[in-house]
Amino acid sequence: MSLVKLLSNAVKLLTANKAGFVGFLIIVTLTLIAFLGPVFIAPETQSHTEAINKPPSLTHPLGTDFMGRENWIMFVHGGREVLSVAFLAGILTVITSITVGSASAFFGGWVDSTLMTVTDIWLALPRFLLLVVIATMVELNNTWYLALFLALIGWPGLARQIRAQVLSLRSREYIEAAQLLDLGASHIIFREMLPNMASYIFIALINAMAGAIYSQTGLVFLGMVPFGNNWGVMFSLAYAKNAIYSPNARASLLVPMSGIILFQLGLVMFSRSLEEIFNPRLRSGVG
């Protein structure tokens, strides 16, 4: 099949579910704003006392903050860290969960017992509180560090789900045939099992990204993450300056909150298209 045909089929599958396609457009739009917007729009580096806490208007499209800075410029420059941490934490969470869950189910015995004991202990811990404690001891001033710690906190539940999926696949005839042919554990797991779990894994990735956004926003709000400028910092500073009590200043709260909510909504809606892409039984009229 030619590359053009593959791309054509991918576009058809992506647009088959309208809600899923809208979610995809939301994700792409916010990602472009966050990563390309700062290239063309200079950051706000000075305060403007004459324009403090202005409501949205033609002059100030999304209003201004407590320093008179344009909220829309702050929004453009505040998305990169949030989305970077979400993508990285989601990917690291899924990789860790797949490794632990598939190894536990495939090898069984003492491997399964040991890994699931560690998983159960980790699940029993109050994970967000543990993350807060870690943040007080380790300076999470780097995107990679924060993503790594979020993945470290978020993998156990998904690992158990992956284990259940692999246990179900182990009884399939093609897996038993691969074992009889002695194709090796890595081949069976990565070439036979995981491709059949693609839809589940991608949707789990979306859920992990959503959880990472909430966790990092919570940490920023509590002052545990010293990031200079992101949507969580915007919301936290506006709240600290009592923007919630001033009608003119509420845009400073609503703008970053809208970015977080829209991205979450885009992820959830996009998952509907992923279900149709990976599950042929859900497709209708796409060929």
Tens of pLDDT, residues 178-188: 767 777 667 77
Close Cβ partners of 264 (under 8 Å, ≥ 6 residues apart)? 210, 213
Q: Cα–Cα distance between 106 and 48 in angstroms, integer?
A: 62
Tens of pLDDT, residues 254-284: 999 999 999 989 988 888 777 666 665 555 5
Tens of pLDDT, residues 111-132: 888 988 988 888 888 877 877 7
Is the C-alpha dihedral spanning 36, 39, 42, 45 positive or negative? positive
CA nearest to 127, candidates 98, 151, 94: 151
The 3-state secondary structure of the chain, one letter per residue: CCHHHHHHHHHHHHHHCHHHHHHHHHHHHHHHHHHHHHHHCCCCCCCCHHHCCCCCCCCCCCCECCCCCEHHHHHHHHHHHHHHHHHHHHHHHHHHHHHHHHHHHHHCHHHHHHHHHHHHHHHHCCHHHHHHHHHHHCCCCCHHHHHHHHHHHHHHHHHHHHHHHHHHHHCCHHHHHHHHCCCCHHHHHHHHHHHHHHHHHHHHHHHHHHHHHHHHHHHHHCCCCCCCCCHHHHHHHHHHCCHHHCHHHCHHHHHHHHHHHHHHHHHHHHHHHHHHHHCHHHCCCCC
Structure tokens at 266: 């885009």
Instruction: Identify the pLDDT of residue 287.
Output: 47
Is residue 250 scored above 60 in pLDDT? yes
pTM over 0.85: no
Alpha carbon 129 to its chain's center: 20
What are the structural domains of the chain? 13-40+63-278 (1.10.3720.10)
Instruction: Identify the pLDDT of residue 226.
Output: 63
Structure tokens at 70: 């344009």
Instruction: Identify the pLDDT of residue 286.
Output: 47
Instruction: Identify the pLDDT of residue 249.
Output: 85
pLDDT averaged over every residue in the chain: 81
Instruction: Identify the pLDDT of residue 262.
Output: 92
Confidence of residue 142 (pLDDT cuts 50, 70, 90): confident
Structure tokens at 267: 């992820």
Instruction: Identify the pLDDT of residue 282.
Output: 52
Q: Cα–Cα distance between 186 and 210 in angstroms, integer?
A: 30
Q: Cα–Cα distance between 103 and 116 in angstroms, integer?
A: 10
Tens of pLDDT, residues 46-79: 888 888 888 888 888 998 888 888 999 999 998 8
Instruction: Identify the pLDDT of residue 33.
Output: 93
- Check: CB of residue 231 under 8 Å from CB of residue 260: yes
Q: What is the mean pLDDT of residues 160-182?
A: 77
Q: Cα–Cα distance between 48 and 68 in angstroms, integer?
A: 5
| CA distances, 8 to each of 13, 114, 266 (Å) | 9, 46, 23
Is residue 10 scored above 70 in pLDDT? no
- Kindly provide the b/e burial profile for residues 122-143, where b requires at least 16 CB atoms within 10 angstroms of the residue's own CB: beeeebeeebeeebeeeebeeb
Is residue 201 scored above 50 in pLDDT? yes
Q: Cα–Cα distance between 47 and 150 in angstroms, integer?
A: 34
